[in-house]
Amino acid sequence: MNITDLHTLFLNASGVSTDSRKIAHNTIFFALKGDNFNGNRYALEALKKGASYAVVDENVDHSNVRLIQVDNVLHTLQELATFHRKYLNIPVLALTGSNGKTTTKELIKAVLSAKYKVKATVGNLNNHIGVPLTMLSFDHSTAFGIVEMGANHQKEIATLCNIAYPDYGLITNYGKAHLEGFGGVEGVIKGKSEMYQHLIQHHKTIFYNSCDPIQQEKLKDYKNTYAFGHCDGADFPTKYLSSDPYVKFMAGSTTVNTQLTGGYNYNNLALAAAIGHFFEIDAEAVREALEAYSPDNNRSQIINKGRTQILLDAYNANPSSMEAALKHFATSHPGKTKMVILGDMFELGDAAADEHQKITSLCKELDLEEVILVGKNFKACTTPYPQVASYEDLKAYLKAHPVATEQLLIKGSRGMALERVLDLI
């Protein structure tokens, strides 16, 4: 079956599914394979549960006309997504970066929703499977699409751009994330900049931070840009004012008081404001959208438990975001008693030992008195702070040493699941 015919079936379906356990009526099931699963084995089950068709790449049952056999299910899913993107022909904005992607995506969505019917990446469906699923969630009611792109190795962003073909794009920042896959910080810069290469090749618009020297250098010879910030070359002036605890900043001539904590979120907010201005959204509507946005999903959430105010930032962590969070926490709420619980940072490869040691040293430099380090990497560090290897060990430690401070920062990589600490307080 060619992609045009498959797309016709898709338009008559209620959507697509890649999980045979969650089949909605009249969806098309794509039998993806992984290291520990093979969707082909569940294709017939998906049909029984209500799928209209199942796309497979193994000989499941030649007699079943609702089975569509292709050479590679993943490639077909990606090809269908690109075909659908060109069929709808709506404006698409893509973003990537080491830190703040999902928060920035949600902020941009909030701003653009003041003018457009917007659909965006749900959660963190931002990889080689998630991006196609995002594209296929767009329909005739969608006036603007936002696609988050994540990567942990070279050429991944390039591949995702060739699926989504964005009209607009941005890189939130370059940081020490996925060092193992990218091969160091220079590898991160090279890999994330594949976004720029694609947009420049296709003469599309790039949004960037006028104060970021790496972005300035990458884009110095490209004219189709729109910059924000307080530095030379900014098309839309923004200025950081304060974050005690919530970020306050100037967007053009408008003061914005947000519900986001941490100065590190200023760039994400300013970027969203600049994009709103670029698309001629009223400044008051932009302000209202940014002020109404409240973080969730373990990202910069403020939670009160008794006398303790908790900054829960346990969705993810890397050396760059960990450093920013610690510096903000150390300088906020002067006079308040503070505690920090930090979990291991993943995907750092050979740099893991050094980067974890740097974070423990930073805690000392910032005069953070109460720090608990959780995970095998932090357990191996040389430090005066208490160290535990696992969550169960942390649970035992906190039972013997209950949290009694007025301020508590919790941060670690997703795999550490440190939001569970909330149950221990």
Query: For 369, what's the count of Cα atoms within 13 Å in the CB-facing half-sphere?
Result: 5
**Whether residue 41 sits in one domain with residue 127:** no
- Provide the 3-class DSSP secondary structure of residue 338: strand
Q: CA-CA distance, 168 to 413, in Å (whole number)? A: 30
**Whether residue 141 sits in one domain with residue 270:** yes
76 part of a folded domain: no
The residue type found at 342 is L
Structure tokens at 342: 């930090």
pLDDT at position 177 is: 60
**Whether residue 251 sits in one domain with residue 218:** yes
**Whether residue 143 sits in one domain with residue 55:** no
84 part of a folded domain: no
The CATH number of the domain holding residue 114 is 3.40.1190.10
The residue type found at 20 is S
- Provide the 3-class DSSP secondary structure of residue 191: helix
Final residue in a domain of this structure, among 292, 313, 330: 292
**Whether residue 243 sits in one domain with residue 112:** yes
Annotate 115-167 with DSSP letters as a single string: TS-EEE--TT--STTHHHHHHHH--TT-SEEEEE---SSTTHHHHHHHHH--S
The CATH number of the domain holding residue 22 is 3.40.1390.10
**Whether residue 57 sits in one domain with residue 174:** no
Long-range contacts of 347-351 (CB under 8 A, 24+ apart): 347/152, 347/177, 347/178, 347/179, 347/180, 347/181, 347/318, 347/413, 348/176, 348/179, 348/180, 348/318, 348/319, 348/377, 349/179, 349/180, 349/181, 350/180, 351/176, 351/179, 351/180, 351/184
Final residue in a domain of this structure, among 272, 292, 312: 292
- CA-closest candidate to residue 56, choices 95, 11, 131, 1: 1
83 part of a folded domain: no
149 part of a folded domain: yes
pLDDT at position 99 is: 83
Rounded (10°) CA dihedral 279, 78, 208, 268? 80
**Whether residue 239 sits in one domain with residue 189:** yes
85 part of a folded domain: no
What are the start-end ranges of the H helices in 263-375?
266-278, 283-292, 319-331, 352-365
**Whether residue 213 sits in one domain with residue 165:** yes
157 part of a folded domain: yes
Distances 407 to 260, 274, 332, 379 between C-alpha atoms, Å: 16, 33, 10, 24
Residues in Cβ contact with 217 at an 8 Å cutoff, skipping those fewer than 6 apart: none
The CATH number of the domain holding residue 406 is 3.90.190.20
284 part of a folded domain: yes
**Whether residue 102 sits in one domain with residue 65:** no
259 part of a folded domain: yes
pTM of the model: 0.85
Contact (Cβ atoms closer than 8 angstroms) between residue 81 and residue 8: no
Per-residue pLDDT of the chain (425 residues; tens, 9 = 90+): 999 999 999 999 999 999 999 999 999 999 999 888 999 999 999 999 999 999 999 998 888 999 999 999 999 999 999 999 999 999 999 999 988 899 999 999 999 999 999 999 998 789 999 999 999 999 999 999 999 999 877 899 999 999 999 999 999 988 666 666 666 778 778 888 899 999 999 999 999 999 999 999 999 999 999 999 999 889 999 999 998 788 999 999 999 999 998 888 999 999 999 999 999 999 999 999 999 999 876 778 889 998 999 999 888 888 988 998 999 899 888 889 999 999 999 989 889 999 999 999 999 999 998 999 999 999 999 999 999 999 999 999 999 999 999 999 999 998 999 999 999 98
**Whether residue 40 sits in one domain with residue 100:** no
- Buried b / exposed e along 135-157 (16+ C-beta atoms within 10 A): bbbbeeebbbbbbbbbbeeeebb
Final residue in a domain of this structure, among 230, 265, 292: 292
Contact (Cβ atoms closer than 8 angstroms) between residue 416 and residue 375: yes
Q: CA-CA distance, 369 to 17, in Å (whole number)? A: 49
Domain limits for position 225: 90-292
Contact (Cβ atoms closer than 8 angstroms) between residue 47 and residue 31: no
**Whether residue 324 sits in one domain with residue 285:** no
pLDDT at position 296 is: 76
The domain tally of the chain equals 3
**Whether residue 312 sits in one domain with residue 179:** no
